[in-house]
Amino acid sequence: MRNPALEPLDVLVGEWKLTLTDCWFLESRDVEQEGRAVGRWLGEAFLELDALLEGVPTWHFVFGRSDARDQLVVLYHDPRPTSRTFDMSVRGSEWTWLRQDPDFHQRFVATVTPERIDGRWEASDDGGTTWRKDFDLIFDRVVA
């Protein structure tokens, strides 16, 4: 039986078109990269989201819940290879993932609807006092 705390994540199931834009580390903030993401349940306890940009595997996320902490969590991996964990909060259509690690703090802030996710990645080098935008990440549902 699926944990009811994970019900908001069901919106991620399916195929998405990705658009990365306003990115500080690309040659210009006007450059857009496109890609795809696919979300699927892993059994009854986790949801997986795989993303490719420009046809290259880019991000892998696994969403779940820590019962002991009463906290939604996100496990992240990319090909660098980098692995991170985020705490996730869901308040209606507003989702936030937050990482507060010694190297730097990072967050993803998004407005989520069944057809679109408008999000931005931000980072803080001063313990979360000030934040800088890394890039915008938009998910548009692919309708078959």
Domain that holds residue 27: 4-141
Q: What is the mean predicted confidence (pLDDT) over 27-45?
A: 92
Quote the number of domains for the chain: 1
Report how far residue 102's alpha carbon sits from residue 55's, in angstroms, rounded to the nearest whole number: 32
Question: 25 falls in which pLDDT band (50, 70, 90)?
Answer: confident
Report how far residue 96's alpha carbon sits from residue 93's, in angstroms, rounded to the nearest whole number: 10
DSSP letters spanning 3-31: -GGGGGGGGG-EEEEEEEES-TTSS-TT-
- CATH number of the domain where residue 98 is located: 2.40.128.20
Q: pTM for this one?
A: 0.92
Q: What is the mean predicted confidence (pLDDT) over 124-128?
A: 94
